[in-house]
Structure 1
Amino acid sequence: MKKLLPTSTAGSLPKPSWLAEPETLWSPWKLEGAELTLGRQDALRITLKEQEHAGIDIVSDGEQTRQHFVTTFIENLSGVDFENKKTVRIRDRYDASVPGIVGPVSRQKPVFVDDAKFLRAQTNQPIKWALPGPMTMVDTLYDDYYQDRKKLAFEFAKALNQEAKELEAAGVNIIQFDEPAFNVFLDDVNEWGIEALEIAKAGLTCETAVHICYGYGIKANTDWKKTLGEEWLHYEKTFPAIQKSSIDIISLECHNGRIPLEVLSLLKGKKIMVGAIDVATDTIETPEEVAATIREALKYADADKIYPCTNCGMAPLSRDVARGKLHALAAGAEIVRKELSV
């Protein structure tokens, strides 16, 4: 019998301090060459065991083998210049030094496939693997070549599709596309963002997810959230079209935000990764707080469609805090599971 309310993380988990600078995005590696390869594999083993020990049902690599959830994939494509970086505004919120598109974009080789095979060999649990979504990739660089966001997104989507098919063949059960840009460029989502996702997932037989959050718990994101008013209605504008897409699972923030959870009713028929862990605070939720978020979600979606999850990645947090939050997530889901079985 399939487990009710299976738990997972939305993305990254903190890296060990011997591998990269802790609590930092885009942190450079502390190892090189063969040592770096072995170090990343050791970190992957550790993050897997911590997820399993906490009681997480659908495990991931915790993004231990990549510096950043977007740029690590981009830097493995042709047509990208990482030498002459430029500063651009990311999601209209903060400046970052990013690579540029200087020629036709294409995938030259597998990026994460060996890592996925390694992870698959370490566990019998279902694996979810996150890839950057096409729109978010477009928003995380400067484009001197196509000068057309939609066209570039479609080229990225083709490269993602090649990677996703090989990840599926390596034993990945769920491929997740991370699209925080879906909460910023709302018109683009409906005009071409979902179409780009369909290109990225074409031909896959494993389940697919799209993760749409308000970003990591960094200052630029938390400051932006303070400007959004009493009700955050971004999801209302995009969920009707996403509901019609062929994506199986939609991941969204639910805990400690101002999102009216009635939006879940716009996703009828879809599985929903309900963010029940706030990644923008060091305060570790109690299992009861997690359970309360899940119960609220159950008012608008069936129990067999709900996958309790974190709001976003936890790379900027300390390992102790992230570990505590994983345990709270699993314990909170178990509380509601027992209530539903009575």
Structure 2
Amino acid sequence: MKTLLPTSTAGSLPKPLWLAEPEKLWSPWKLEADELVAGKQDALRLALMDQDRAGIDIVSDGETTRQHFVTTFIEHLSGVDFENRRTVKIRDRYDASVPVVNGAIARQKPVFVDDARFLRQQTDKPIKWALPGPMTMVDTLYDAHYKSREKLAWEFAKVLNQEAKELEAAGVDIIQFDEPAFNVFFDEVNDWGIAALEKAVEGLKCETAVHICYGYGIKANTDWKKTLGSEWRQYEEIFPKLQQSSIDLISLECHNSRVPMDLIELIRGKKVMVGAIDVANHQIETPEEVAETLRRALKFVDADKLYPSTNCGMAPLPNSVARGKLEALCKGAAILREELSRGTF
């Protein structure tokens, strides 16, 4: 029987301190060669155990097998130079040293398929795997070859589609594309961003998701949020076209945000991953706080299409905080499930 209000994480979980420096993005690995392979698998098993203990319904690898949600995929592509980096402003927000596209983009071999197959062997639960979206990949590079964000996005969409089809064959139930750039470049999203995403999911039979948030809980993102005013209406710009897309699930940031909940009405009919856990602070939500966020969302999304989740990834948080937040998410969803079963909501 299908679970009502199935819980999941939007993205990463903290890595064990023996694998990488904790509470840090782009944290270098502490192991090498065969030890690193074994260490990543151990970290994946720990991430799965934490999700199982909390009661998460749709599990993932917690992105413990990759250094960063975008660049780890790009590292495996030809046509990208990681040695001679350039500094760019990512999402018009913060400077980062990034690789350079210096030739035609191509995927020579699978990137995450072995890791996904390993995860599939560890659990009978539905599994979700995250890939970077084409537009966010474009925004995390310096392009010296195509000289066109749109052309580069289409090339990335093609290689993402190759990877996604092999992930599906490895037993992945939901493939999620992370597109935080969708909250920034509205004209491009509507002109070609959603079309490139459609190319990335072309021919897939498994469920597909797009995750659009306001970013990890790092200073550059929290400072940006302070400039957005009393209402965050970015979703309003892109939801109408996403509602018409073939993407099955749309993942949003809701808890402790200034996103007007009624914007979800614009994607009526889609399954919605409602972010009910704030990843930008160390305070662990109470189950009742989670339940209240979900109750507000239920006015605009049918119960059988509501998927409680986190706002974003939790890689920069301490392990103990992330575990507490996972537990709160599951307990909050359980409160609402009970109310719905009794008809008291």
- Normalised to the residue count of structure 1, the TM-score between the two structures is 1.00
Deviations 1:107-146 (A, max 9, x none): 1100000000000000000000000000000000100000
Tell me how far 1:278 sits from its aligned partner.
0.2
Letter in 1 for 2:169: A
Pairwise CA distance, 1:321: 0.2
Q: Which residue does 1:293 correspond to in 2? A: 293
Match of 2:25 in 1: 25
Percent identity among equivalent residues? 75
Q: Aligned partners of 2:224, 2:147: CA distance in 1, in Å?
A: 27
Structure 2 counterpart of 1:40: 40
1:226-237 matches, within 5 Å, as 226-237=226-237
RMSD after superposition = 0.4
> Aligned partners of 1:95, 1:66: CA distance in 2, in Å?
22
Q: How does 1:134-283 map to 2 (within 5 A)?
A: 134-283=134-283
Deviation at 1:88, TM superposition (A): 0.8
Cα deviation code 1:192-244 (max 9, x no counterpart): 00000010000000000000000000000000000000000100110000000
Instruction: Give the aligned length.
Output: 342
Q: Report the secondary structure of 1:19's partner residue.
A: coil
Q: Hey, what does 1:116 align to over in structure 2?
A: 116
In the alignment, the residues of structure 2 paired with residue 238 and residue 36 of structure 1 have an alpha-carbon distance, to the nearest angstrom, of 40
- What is aligned with 2:332? 332
More displaced, 332-341 or 85-94? Answer: 85-94
Distance, in Å, in 2 between the alignment partners of 1:312 and 1:186 is 20
Secondary structure of 2:250's aligned partner: strand
Offset at 1:160?
A: 0.2
**1:9 counterpart residue number:** 9
Task: Map 1:59-98 to 2 at 5 A.
Answer: 59-98=59-98
Specify every segment of 5 or more residues in structure 1 that has no aligned partner in the other structure, as ranges.
none
Letter in 2 for 1:142: Y
- Give the whole-Å Cα distance in 2 for the aligned partners of 1:91 and 1:194: 17
Q: Determine helix, strand or coil for the equivalent of 1:98.
A: strand
Distance, in Å, in 2 between the alignment partners of 1:173 and 1:162 is 16
Structure 1 letter corresponding to 2:100: G
TM-score, normalising length from structure 2? Answer: 0.99
| Correspondence for 1:104 | 104
SS of 1:330's equivalent in the other structure is helix
SS in 2 for 1:89: strand
State the distance in 1 between where 2:196 and 2:131 align: 14
What is the Cα deviation at residue 324 of structure 1?
0.2
DSSP-derived class of the 2:31 partner: coil
Q: Cα offset for 1:268?
A: 1.2
- Tell me, what secondary structure is at the counterpart of 2:194? helix
What is the alpha-carbon distance in structure 2 between the residues aligned to residue 14 and residue 79 of structure 1? 31
1:133 aligns with 2:143: no
The equivalent residue for 1:322 is 322
- Deviation string 1:77-106 (CA, Å, 9 cap, x unpaired) is 010000111111110111111101000001
For residue 204 of structure 1, give the secondary structure of its aligned residue in structure 2: coil
1:269 counterpart letter in structure 2:
G
Q: How many angstroms apart in 2 are the aligned matches of 1:24 and 1:2? A: 36
Tell me the equivalent position of 2:313: 313
Q: Give the distance between the partners of 1:206 and 1:301, measured in 2 at CA.
A: 22
| Local SS of the residue matching 1:193 | helix
* 2:216 partner amino acid: Y
- Which amino acid in the other structure matches residue 108 of structure 1? Q
- The AA in structure 2 aligned to 1:184 is V
